[in-house]
Structure 1
Amino acid sequence: MNFNVNFKGSYSILFVDLEPGEIIIGEPGAMVTMSGDLEIETSTGGVFKALKRAFLGGEHIFLNKYKAKNKSRISFAPKLPGDIDIIDLNGTVYLQSTSFLASEEGINLDTKFTGFKSFFSGEGFFLLKLSGYGKLAISSFGAIFSLELKEDEKITIDTGHVVAFDESVNYSVRTFGGFKSTIFGGEGLVVDFIGPGKIYIQTRNYPEYIKWIKSLSPKDTGSR
């Protein structure tokens, strides 16, 4: 199986070339093109895990499985304008809920709850937990870049810019600054990461973008 990303940057697309018998798992609605002979199966990957993905991770209950009957090609694109990166997974990585695009069949998709502090803050930080071996395609809002933290090296990132991070990285979610910073400074939750391990970061903040779009909408004053 071969993964290739074209048009790197704001409008990336993933092309996957499959040999006969190979299987690729894709996010529903992400398929762009198919060529060759592909058998499509929609499944939950386990009802309990599917419900957790839907209600905690914000993902679809179902995932699409594409099996090649002969040499085939399929392409995927994310919902948001942004980049795509490929991770050669050998273990476990945590992923923000909007960033899963596609993976090889040997990767298990589950959900991790990060604690009640983030749940009640109004800016949830639910994670997808991907474990196993194989290629994983992740997507971002804006460009994507990675940092490799050394042992005990620390960095603080706004939750809206986190895409993924290795299981080896320790993390804790907290509010940014005090009451004034949170309410009036436009900041919400941040994550303190401590290495070792790799972190993937996106250059745009999806929650803040949605807030900005909503601020442009006409307000209903109730007058006639």
Structure 2
Amino acid sequence: MEYDIQHRPSYALITAELNQSEQLVAEAGAMVSHSDGIEIQTSASGGVLGSLKRKAFGGESFFMNTFTANRPGHVTLAPPLPGDVIQYGLNQNTIYVQSGSFVAAEPNVEIDTKFGGGKTFFGGEGLFLLELTGTGSTFLSSYGAIQEKELDAGESYVVDTGHIVAFEGTTEFNVKKVGGLKSTLFSGEGLVCEFTGPGKVWLQTRSPDAFLSWLVPNLPGGNDGGGRDGGFSVNF
């Protein structure tokens, strides 16, 4: 399979060129277009139990689409939010991907859901991740641009959980609260993830949760009366 990522970094579009019999597995709803001769099969990837687990804890769709080339052709894919896409090649290793950032992978890549245990769970909030293992290309998306941070052995780095895209399996992580209740309410900061190298971490420059926190109060009928108190309103 060959690929090209166009319109970066704001509105990335993946074009995957498939030879005859090659396949690509993608998140349901990611397809933009495909050429003639591409067959689409929708299934509960990993079985019903695996798909339920992904949906409940990873935030991903219950179904996956598998694209098979009956003859050479292409598929174009895009994530739901404006932003960038990167390709990461697995070679018998593991990466963990934040909910919503997975777009597609080659069929030899196994997709499972990982919950970091009690250390990542605070007051009903937790860090649920997709675990990608095996060999093959994976495609990951961001809201906004993607920034890569490579950590040396023992080096630590703290990231707001809303800005995590993915990290390599060699990287240790610990989710914790930052500040107290006052800090959470007034600064908007709540959970952060402390990574310890070695390994790479990918960040997104915008947070979907932060955008929704700004948008919802400004919608008609929002919590602050449609944004009148702030002098701004959003109308559709």
Alpha-carbon separation, structure 2, partners of 1:156 and 1:131? 25
Corresponding residue number in structure 2 for 1:194: 196
Corresponding residue number in structure 2 for 1:67: 68
1:157 aligned onto 2:194:
no
* Identical counterparts, % of pairs: 43
Deviations 1:142-181 (A, max 9, x none): 0002111000011000000000000000000000123321
> Do the aligned partners of residues 220 and 194 (structure 1) sit closer, same or farther apart at CA in structure 2, a change above 3 Å counting?
closer
Residues 78 and 139 in structure 1, CA contact (< 8 A), matched pair in contact too: yes
Which amino acid in the other structure matches residue 32 of structure 1? V
Deviations 1:81-135 (A, max 9, x none): 1000000112110000100101100101110112345444354321011111000
Corresponding residue number in structure 1 for 2:3: 3
Q: Provide structure 1 residue ranges, at least 5 long, that are not aligned to the other structure.
A: none
Corresponding residue number in structure 2 for 1:206: 208
CA RMSD of superposed structures (Å): 1.6
- Mean Cα displacement is larger for which, 37-46 or 166-175? 37-46
Q: 5 Å matches for 1:105-116?
A: 105-116=107-118
Alpha-carbon separation, structure 1, partners of 2:9 and 2:123? 32
Which amino acid in the other structure matches residue 95 of structure 2? V
TM normalised by structure 2 equals 0.90
Cα shift at 1:185: 2.1
**Paired residues, what number?**
222
Task: Give SS of 2:209's match.
Answer: helix
Residues 26 and 66 in structure 2, CA contact (< 8 A), matched pair in contact too: yes
Corresponding residue number in structure 2 for 1:103: 105
Residues 107 and 131 in structure 1, CA contact (< 8 A), matched pair in contact too: yes
Residues 218 and 224 in structure 2, CA contact (< 8 A), matched pair in contact too: no
Corresponding residue number in structure 2 for 1:17: 17
TM normalised by structure 1 equals 0.95
Corresponding residue number in structure 2 for 1:43: 43
Residues 146 and 203 in structure 2, CA contact (< 8 A), matched pair in contact too: yes
Q: Provide structure 2 residue ranges, at least 5 long, that are not aligned to the other structure.
A: 226-236
